[in-house]
Chain A
């Protein structure tokens, strides 16, 4: 399983904003993945979507790594932030913009 974990860790390290979801950025397959793409699109920072719809091993590894049962899964600057349920509540408290600014400021 650690090969998949290493792959995931690399993907997280290479993308400041990363969404593991169902489908791709161009062809999302799930309403929540669409919602998450729209969430980040409005901030204008670059983000990546990695499709794990049919990759059960990777999905189970992600579930274990994050202790979070569902997709999409969002990572910002290497840290896990759940999905738009979490991000919407953070946004309501004005916590997302500074987080993204910091992620892209280095």
Chain B
């Protein structure tokens, strides 16, 4: 279980002022679709964008607060 604000702050720690939209896919607060729009992505290829978001979410993945996440990335 992790709250949406916590998820958003985790991503923004790694990607300051990124726009983060979160959809709770199952209602159990542990399987989310996360759309991240960040200007930093402009210099990253697709794999690195996703890796950056995964790294940002890693603390929550490691301690079990977050079970599964689908990541979508975009530039502004």
Contact = CB atoms under 8 A, between A and B. Distances in A.
A32 B25 CA distance: 13
Contacts of A32: 68
Contact of B46 (A31, A67, A69, A90): A90
B68 A69 contact: no
A70 B50 CA distance: 11
A85 B51 contact: no
Interface string A82-106: 1001101110000000000000000
A8 to B, nearest CB: 18
B58 A89 contact: no
Given A67-B51, A68-B51, A90-B46, A85 B71 contact: yes
Interface residues of A, number: 14
The DSSP consensus for interface residues of chain B is helix
B61 A89 contact: no
B21 to A, nearest CB: 15
A70 B46 contact: no
Contacts of B73: 89
B71 A69 contact: no
Interface in A31-68: 31-32, 67-68
B72 A86 contact: no
Nearest to A32: B68
B48 to A, nearest CB: 10
A32 B15 CA distance: 26
A31 B70 CA distance: 11
Contacts of A89: 46, 72-73
B50 A85 contact: yes
Interface of A: 31-32, 67-70, 80-82, 85-86, 88-90
